[in-house]
Structure 1
C-alpha cells in the first residue's frame, strides 16, 4: 500500500529514469535512478540523455533550405546577364570585348553571392 501511494504521488509530479526504462523505482541496482521533473523530459535527447542539450534537426534543415533558395536567384541573374550580353552584342558588335569584360565582372559578383549563400546554409545546417 505504501509503495502504491508513493508511486501515485511520484507519478503526479515526477518521473524517474528507472520508470522510463521499465524498471522499478525501488530497484537499488538501477543506474541513473534520479528523480526529474516532468517538464524537463522535453530537454532529454535520445542521443545522450543529458539535460539542456537539444538538437532540432528539422529546423536546421528547413533553415538551410530557405538559405539555399537564393542560389536559384543567382542562377536566374547569371542567365539574365548572358542574355543581356547576347542582346548588346547583337545591337553593337564593335563593343563585344568591353561587354564581355563587364559580364565576367558581374558573373564574379553573382558567383560570390552564391558561395556566400551556400556557406550560410552549411553554417545553419551544422551549427
Structure 2
C-alpha cells in the first residue's frame, strides 16, 4: 500500500513538468513577440527572457526533485 502511494505521489509530481514546458514556451513566444514589436531592445529583452527561463526551469527541477524524494524517500 505504501509503495503504491509513493508511485502515485511521484507520478503526480512529474505531471507538473508539463506546466514547466508550457511556461518555457510562453517565455520564448513572448520574447519573439517583443522582438517583432521593438527590435532596438533586443539585448535587454534577451536578458529578461533568460532570467524567466531560469526561474521556470528551476521550478521544473524542483518538481523533479520532489518526485524523486517521494519515490526513493
Larger % of strand: which?
Answer: 1
Matched, 1:110 2:56: yes
- Aligned pair 1:63/2:17, yes or no? no
Q: Please, what is the CA RMSD of the aligned residues?
A: 1.0
Task: Specify which structure has the bigger relative contact order, considering alpha-carbon pairs within 8 angstroms and separated by 6 or more residues.
Answer: 2
Residue 110 of structure 1 aligns to a residue whose secondary structure is helix
TM-score w.r.t. structure 1 length?
0.56
> Which residues of structure 2 form unaligned runs of 5+?
none
* Bigger proportion of residues as helix: 2
Post-superposition offset of 1:56? 2.1
Structure 1 segments, 4+ long, off by >6 Å, are none
1:75-110 per-position Cα deviation (integer Å, ceiling 9, x unaligned)? 100000000000000011000111000000011111
1:41 aligns with none
Gaps of 5+ in 1: 1-54
**Larger-Rg structure:** 1
* 2:69 equivalent to 1:123: yes
Q: How far apart in 2 are the matches of 1:106 and 1:66?
A: 24
Cα deviation, residue 58, structure 1: 1.4
